[in-house]
A and B are shown apart, each in its own frame.
Chain A
Amino acid sequence: MDFVTFFALAIPLVVVAVMVIAHPSPVYSALFLVMTLFLLAVYFLFLNAHMVAALQIIVYAGAIMVLFLFVIMLLNLQSDTLRTQRHGLGRVAIIGGVILLAELGLLLQGSSSELAESSLPENFGTVEALGSQLFTKYLLPFEITGILLLVAVVGAVVLAKR
């Protein structure tokens, strides 16, 4: 991924990501979030992670964001109703942001710019490589995630039946 490609993608990505929280209309915010997730998927494509890019679009931009939009449009949320509500979440967000920046700084200290240039294995990012990693090295986290999702589905059914 060269310099020009990186910034050609990074600048729009940051702009739409800021628009998600800056735009007063909830529908526009959700649509900007779709664009953010789509541009992230394009990033994954450029990083040779085709499978992750496809999954990103199917799961997040496709299914989850469509449901977000669905609920926002069904409830017909207006832009002014949300403006007046403040929960004091700003302070929590600032603390979270500082922690994230500190983590990123620590990570960047350990890495060097040559790391990104090192050659990738032949089948990096393909379905086969990702699948064999998931079912050998990362089997336990994979299964635990599966159980977590199953619990969430069962919980949703129980709540809906009440």
Chain B
Amino acid sequence: MQSFIDGLIASGVFGGLPAEAIYPAMMFLFASIVVFGFVLPLVTITIWLERRVWSRIQSRVGPNRVGPQGVLQGLADGVKNILKEDVVPDAADRPLFVFAPYLLVWGFLATFVVIPFSSALVIADLNVGILYIVAIVALSAVGVLMAGWASNNKWSLLGGIRSAAQVVSYEIPAGLALLPVVLLTGTLSTQGIIQAQGWAPWDWFLFHSPFTFIAAFAFYISALAETNRTPFDIPEAESELVAGFATEYSGFRFALFFLAEWGSLYVTGAIMAVLFLGGWQIPTGWTNNTVVLNIAQLTVFFLKAYFWVFLAMWIRATLPRIRVDQMMSLCWKYLVPLGFVNLVGTAVWMVIWPEGNTFVPYLMVVGTLALLVIFFRRVLYHLRRAKPELYFNPAI
């Protein structure tokens, strides 16, 4: 990134402008391109996909009017939200009320800095990569609290406080669950973690040992809780708190909350892909073209990330919301002790097999595949007895 701008400066594109002025301007330009050309379409498509997946799970059709298969539904929703009146309640604390949604959106946009989409496509390969993401997620909890308090409304305040308690609690199992991977690689950099894995499933950290396998799902559950997803969406529980911290928001600011929620859903999937599914790793040697290689890596990364996104949609469409006390006991009584067991277990594993056990990863891959086969056979059995004309007709 910096070398690219240095090259542009050396070639004299900017004339005699000082480098200190060019760097911020170029960073601003690139950030705008990334936000409007990549993140916004990504989030709108994720929202559309979520609504379509829910619909299929609930035997409905879902949004299919705007654009082919309703792909542009997010765009239509965005336009509708921007055109609506932006109400700031009289009793609200105006500066904080106005600022809070931007803080949340910043929180998920900033995590895109360290996500490696391919071997070359990463904005900054920070030495503290994974810790940086943890830090940003922790900061965005302030945004939710701010929104809840500034609305000056009991439901909003309760929603904000619940969310803060949830994020602060689930940071600990999430941090403990990514420590086994850090132990195995000896680095916190996202590119370093991916380079320590391979393209084949038995080279992924998901199947490295039973401990990393459990850690992957502990991290996924914690990440769902941190992003306020069902079954942990108690900060905005409709049946108890109207809409939680977003109750008083309308128009564009309400849309920003949605942007942040689905954006961080994708970020969760991407982090899971980086930590446990080998990120952009693909078999090498079949092409010498760097562009083709990077596009293939990008595709693989997106597929892996969207697998976890799809899983979150599936969970949201099937599981009911859990209670506050259940959420807290799940975190402190089950996930945190499990995290410590995983940490110590991985350390012992590394002492016994410094190069990794050669047999266990294959066994775990085969076991997982067998489970998936049994599962899909059962799903197919039920599909044949349901309404195949709905499920197998993508044109509805």
Residues of A within 8 A of B (CB): 4, 27, 31, 34, 38, 50-51, 53-55, 57-58, 61-63, 65-67, 69-70, 73-74, 126-127
Residues of B within 8 A of A (CB): 20, 93, 96, 126-128, 131-132, 134-139, 141-142, 145-146, 148-149, 157, 160-161, 164-165, 167-168, 171, 187-188
With known contacts A50-B127, A58-B135, A127-B128, A66–B188 Cβ distance under 8 A: no
| Cβ-defined contact, B138 with A63, below 8 A | yes
A25 — nearest CB in chain B belongs to which residue? Answer: B93
Complex CA gap A74/B159 in Å reads: 11
Q: Return 6 A-B CB contacts under 8 Å, by A number.
A: A34-B142, A54-B131, A58-B135, A69-B149, A70-B168, A73-B157
Complex CA gap A53/B146 in Å reads: 23
| Cβ-defined contact, A63 with B188, below 8 A | no
| Cβ-defined contact, A66 with B168, below 8 A | yes
Complex CA gap A100/B10 in Å reads: 48
A126 CB contacts on chain B under 8 angstroms: 127
| Cβ-defined contact, B135 with A66, below 8 A | no
B161 CB contacts on chain A under 8 angstroms: 70, 73-74
| Cβ-defined contact, B139 with A38, below 8 A | yes
With known contacts A31-B146, A63-B168, A127-B188, A54–B141 Cβ distance under 8 A: no
Complex CA gap A15/B234 in Å reads: 37
- With both chains docked as a complex, state the minimum distance between the C-beta of B332 and any C-beta of chain A, in angstroms: 11
B131 — nearest CB in chain A belongs to which residue? Answer: A54
A70 CB contacts on chain B under 8 angstroms: 145, 161, 164-165, 168
Complex CA gap A126/B126 in Å reads: 10
A127 CB contacts on chain B under 8 angstroms: 127-128, 131, 187-188
State the majority secondary structure of interface residues on A: helix
Complex CA gap A70/B160 in Å reads: 9
A4 CB contacts on chain B under 8 angstroms: 20
B99 — nearest CB in chain A belongs to which residue? Answer: A31
The 3 lowest CB-CB distance pairs between A and B, nearest first, are A62-B138, A57-B135, A54-B131
Complex CA gap A50/B138 in Å reads: 17
Known: A50-B128, A54-B135. 13 other contacts (CB 8 A): A4-B20, A38-B139, A51-B127, A55-B131, A57-B138, A58-B135, A61-B139, A62-B135, A66-B141, A69-B145, A70-B145, A70-B161, A127-B128
Tally the A-B contacts, defined by beta carbons under 8 Å: 79
| Cβ-defined contact, B145 with A66, below 8 A | yes
Complex CA gap A66/B170 in Å reads: 13
| Cβ-defined contact, B127 with A58, below 8 A | no
B167 CB contacts on chain A under 8 angstroms: 66
B130 — nearest CB in chain A belongs to which residue? Answer: A54
B139 CB contacts on chain A under 8 angstroms: 34, 38, 57, 61-62
Which residue in A31, A50, A53, A58 is a CB contact (below 8 Å) of B142?
A31
| Cβ-defined contact, A73 with B145, below 8 A | yes
- With both chains docked as a complex, state the minimum distance between the C-beta of A59 and any C-beta of chain B, in angstroms: 9
| Cβ-defined contact, A50 with B126, below 8 A | yes
Complex CA gap A55/B132 in Å reads: 9
A50 CB contacts on chain B under 8 angstroms: 126-128
Complex CA gap A38/B143 in Å reads: 14
A27 — nearest CB in chain B belongs to which residue? Answer: B149
| Cβ-defined contact, A58 with B157, below 8 A | no
Which residue in B134, B146, B160, B164 is a CB contact (below 8 Å) of A58?
B134
Complex CA gap A42/B341 in Å reads: 35
Which residue in A54, A65, A66, A69 is a CB contact (below 8 Å) of B132?
A54
Complex CA gap A34/B139 in Å reads: 9
A74 CB contacts on chain B under 8 angstroms: 161
